[in-house]
Amino acid sequence: MRHNKKFNHLGRTNTHRNAMLSNMCASLILHKRIFTTVAKAKALKKVVEPIITKSKEDTTHSRRLVFQELQSKTAVTELFQNISQKVADRPGGYTRIIKTGNRLGDNAAMCFIELVDYNDNMAKETSKAAAKPKTRRSRKKADADTTEAAPAAEVKEKAPKAAKAPKAESEDKTEE
């Protein structure tokens, strides 16, 4: 039976796995985006999100707890100075996993894992959507002015078009 065996060991011993995830957390914090396998990214997400949550409260105790996980002074300072200010209003979900396909050598599923607030492309798309509010479909004033003048013009044009229509069909036949 497989009761209570939800943890992905990633084919490593406990100490190797913890060291690898710690290094990946530090890399993600410093570079804001890393390229890895989907299994490692999912395991990393479970480790790095609580660390980012701890960084919201800038106390000596929380810094020590974060340093205990990361073992990198530069990553800790980056986390507490820059990242914690950007994610201060976010209640969770600090990372995003974007699948990129399979690796050529061993066909492993690969992906990007990135900090949500630092992806410029996604931020531009969301800011465009936020800047332009959705409205009901309605005609603009310029369209309304042209439609009022258009029916009179259409009445004049309908008679000549009806007369020209059969000639156009015969011209098409000759071209073929």
Domain ranges of the chain: 14-129
- Distance (Å, rounded) from C-alpha 95 to C-alpha 17? 20
CATH code of the domain occupying 14-129: 3.90.1030.10
Q: Average pLDDT for residues 96-109, to the nearest whole number?
A: 96
- Distance (Å, rounded) from C-alpha 141 to C-alpha 21? 59
Res 93 pLDDT > 70: yes
Res 2 pLDDT > 80: yes
Contact 40, 24 (CB under 8 A): yes
Res 146 pLDDT > 90: no
pLDDT tens, position by position, 71-89: 999 999 999 999 999 999 9
Of residues 52 and 151, more confidence is placed in 52
pLDDT of residue 145: 60
Res 152 pLDDT > 80: no
Cite the beta strand spans of 42-151 per DSSP E. Answer: 95-102, 109-115
- Distance (Å, rounded) from C-alpha 108 to C-alpha 1? 27
